[in-house]
Amino acid sequence: VIRCRAAVAWAVGKPLSVEEVEVAPPKAGEVRVKIVATGICHTDEHLLNGGFPDVDFPVIPGHEGAGIVESVGEGVTSVKPGDKVIPLCLPQCGECTFCLNPESNYCLKSHLSKPQNLLPDKTSRFTCKGKQIHHFLWVSTFAEYTVVPEYAVAKIDAAAPLDKVCLLGCGFSTGYGAAINAAKVKPGSTCAVFGLGGVGLSVVMGCKASGASRIIAVDINSDKFVKAKELGATDCVNPHNFEKPIQEVLTEMTGHGVDYSFEVIGHADTMVAALASCNMNTGVCVMVGELASRSTISVDPMLLLSGRTWKGTLLGGWKMRNSLSKLVSSYLEKKVNLDLLITHTLPIAKVNEGFELLRAGKSIRSVLLF
């Protein structure tokens, strides 16, 4: 058993508490990882606000981390102690019908099929003050040591700086892949990106890498426009500056609407606005933002009957165990620049400060270090 620090969420709506926790050794088919760095993602905020009704408290959040394998359980072959790895919040078991489908990146062991509050054997590896602490998406990267199933971890290049490539565990991969894999943005096309947080700006980067000729960045926080233009946005629009609905503004700007739109906020009204802002016949709208649990969207069916495509994406469509090494290589070869997304680096003791920066719209990505 290892004793280490972890940021524990004891109850919904309460600040995180940095505690000493005990982390049990890995069982068969499991890997214990020393987390070096972890990003703060909106999904963690969603968890703290009670947005995951199936997640039990107390829980250790965090799902965008990178670290080094400390030990492995019986039967583990894909990683060994000393390997640099990224834990996966979307597992890839390699055996289910989705994993065997080359066009799918879903896995039936995902939290959308089964709760991931406990490891597959229905027990936790975390205790604190004599109490069982739950896992989050199996990864719980707000702990200095965490235990994950082997199929929820991917080995990466030993040269990778963990305080940067941790963003590949969720935010960058989700946004960049939404453009490249989900939308399949074509060269010369027009795109609109709703929401310019870390994921939205990664969508901008993906649209630029795909050769889009016009990338319209949409956000109610105009402070984010400088960074958006630095990463490839050609136009920036604040909906508060217009009397008419933003979808009408975008349609007027482009003639018939954009070729591709991306909602990266997680609000029902902006989901509909993003759909309505793309070309009525061949436009593709990708849902990236996470709506509140059990919320619904009311939409005019004519928006779809005319031919638009409306789709969602999980982690940008990447089969993560297969793809992470390639994404890390892209970073090391300077084909993508994750560094531009990191605005704050904080010690784990300042985890609550990191969430305050997120809520205030003052950070793109804060990275916590142990």
Judge whether 177 and 217 are in contact, CB under 8 Å: no
Determine the pLDDT at residue 165: 98
Q: How many residues does the chain have?
A: 370
Buried b (16+ CB within 10 A) or exposed e, 125-141: bbebeeeebbbbbbbbb
The predicted pLDDT at position 293 comes to 77
Could you name the CATH architecture of 2-171+317-369? Answer: Alpha-Beta Complex (3.90)
- Strands 342-347, 365-369: parallel, antiparallel or unpaired by DSSP? parallel
Token digits for 333?
């070869």
Pairing mode of beta strands 65-72, 30-39 = antiparallel
Cα separation, 356 vs 360, whole angstroms: 6
Residue type, 232: G
Closest CA to 265 of 196, 206, 209, 166: 196
Cα 299 from Cα 150, distance rounded (Å): 41
Count the alpha carbons within 13 Å of 333 in the hemisphere toward its beta carbon.
Answer: 7
At 291, the amino acid letter reads L
Burial profile 16-47: b = 16 or more Cβ within 10 angstroms, e = fewer: bebbebbbbebbebbbbbbbbbbbbbbbbebb
| CB distance 119 to 30 below 8 Å | yes
Low-confidence ranges of the chain (pLDDT < 70): none
Count how many Cα atoms sit within 13 Å of the Cα of residue 130 in the half-sphere of its side chain.
0
Gap between the Cα atoms of 104 and 96, Å rounded? 11
Q: What is the pLDDT of residue 146?
A: 98
Q: What pTM was computed for the model?
A: 0.95
CB-CB neighbours of 80 under 10 Å: 12
The DSSP element (H or E) to which 274 belongs, if any, is helix 268-277
Determine the pLDDT at residue 329.
96
Contact call for residues 116 and 106 (beta carbons, < 8 A): no
Per-residue pLDDT at 121 = 94
Indicate the domain borders of the chain. 2-171+317-369, 183-312
Please report the pLDDT score of residue 114 as a whole number: 84
Helix, strand, or coil (residue 321): helix
Asked whether the beta carbons of 165 and 66 are under 8 A apart, the reply is yes
Task: Tell me what pLDDT residue 254 has.
Answer: 97
Helices 268-277 and 246-254 cross at an angle (nearest 10°) of 20
Q: What is the pLDDT of residues 172-183, one digit of tens each?
A: 999 999 999 999
CATH of domain 183-312: 3.40.50.720
- The answer to whether residues 164 and 342 touch, using CB atoms and an 8 Å cutoff, is yes
